[in-house]
Amino acid sequence: MTLADVSGLHVNMESLPATGDTLERNVPLIRLDSDDDLRNIYKFGRKLGQGSFGVVYEGTHIETQKKWAIKEVCRPEAGSPKVKMLEHEINILKQVNHAHIIHLQEVYITAKMIYLVTELCVGGELKQLLQRRKFFTEDETRHITYSLADAVVYLHKRNIVHRDLKLENILVRNSVVDDNGRINIKVTDFGLSVQTDGVGIENIMTEACGTLTYMAPEMMSGRGYGQWCDVWSIGIIIYILLCGEPPFVSNTKAKLLKEIMNKGVKFTQTVWATVSDAAKNVLTCLLKMDPAYRMSANQLLENPWITGDTNVPVLPSNVLEMMRHHLEQKDSKMVKLENCQFKVFISTELRLWTTCPPSPLRTRWTHSRSQGQRLQKMTESAGATLNSVLSQTPASAHLPHPPNW
């Protein structure tokens, strides 16, 4: 048993570009002479699951008796898409350390196989738990959403986009019964994940990938997408957790995109009558067709539905809404200022008219009895209106006294 020779793996084990406070963990990468050598380190137990990449078994470390999950993957041919996906998964898992992201302990390599040893999640997939429950309560969904959003915020701060968030890729850490009903989740399966150099236009992605039901519309359209595709997937997950079925269903990207554009998110099932308006509002903000108007994962964490603080005012759900809100406040202040100035002007004119001594100008305006009576009525009406307006004028708007003529 030796440390693996990176140059002979067909898998680039060098870390992807690190950004910010991302620190690569020291994950052992060990080459074994044969697959049987691993059986001398771990005792393989029950089969936990199987996917397109390989099989996952429960494994017990013989020396420490600690249980782990062992993902067994056939070594892909050099240059194949599976090589890229496998190296993405290993490289990213080497960089992350978060309570709600699966922990990679070590990697073993043989001539035919690659084994990823990760923490064991005895609760299985979140999808399996949902199938037994039919749907989750709002409190359970809120707890799951907080954990999921917290993990996605962590990834996005490191410019990592998962691109395949779905119920099958969320594991339940412990048995719900043994954990007092709390559902402790772990995000897993980073084979389709990418790490970009930031959120600039030069880092826009165009490759459509992931699972159709959870796929963001901008990813299906082919016009390019960024990390907000993960936020759309979170919205789909929340919707399914609350009612047991997805908001949009189709067997092709074109049909699904058309359904999203024409239908929008609806809450028609009977179960939605028991769900709060706050939860529905969050879903509406997450499942915006245009990612520019979509709530971010960080804004989701701060939403009153998640925090439970209903005294906090609901903030705009995205950057464009924040800009519009700011401009509306600015315009409102300008209107109030202009109204105040108008009040000052009207008040001054009326006071000048009613307090100034007779003048040739005033005499000409009131030379006839009928015109004088009409003017008096207009003045009385204007005075009543002014009194009403002035009663609503801020104290800071001091009205000037008319000059002495």
Report CA Rg, the chain: 33
And the tokens for 24?
Answer: 């690569």
Residue whose tokens read 């009525």: 377
Residue 228: closest CA among 295, 160, 142, 320? 295
- Options 150, 164, 189, 230, the catalytic residue: 164
- Order of strands across the sheet that contains 67-74: 2-3, 29-31, 104-109, 113-119, 67-74, 54-61, 42-50
Residue 159: closest CA among 210, 209, 187, 199? 199
By the 10 Å C-beta count (0-12 exposed, 13-18 middle, 19+ buried), 381 is classed as exposed
* Distance from the first to the final alpha carbon of the chain: 107
- How far apart are the C-alpha atoms of 363 and 367, rounded to whole Å? 6
User: Has 164 been annotated as catalytic?
Assistant: yes
- Listing DSSP states for 357-368 in one string gives PP-HHHHHHT-S
H/E element, 296? none
Pairing of strands 104-109, 113-119: antiparallel
Question: Is 71 among the annotated ligand-binding positions?
Answer: yes
The amino acid at 251: N
Residues 6+ positions from 19 with CB-CB distance below 8 Å: 158, 159, 195, 197, 198
Q: Is 101:154 a contact under the CB 8 Å cutoff?
A: yes
Q: Where are the alpha helices (DSSP H) in 48-117?
A: 81-95
Which residues carry out catalysis?
164
The binding site for ATP comprises: 71
Which residues are annotated binding-site positions?
71
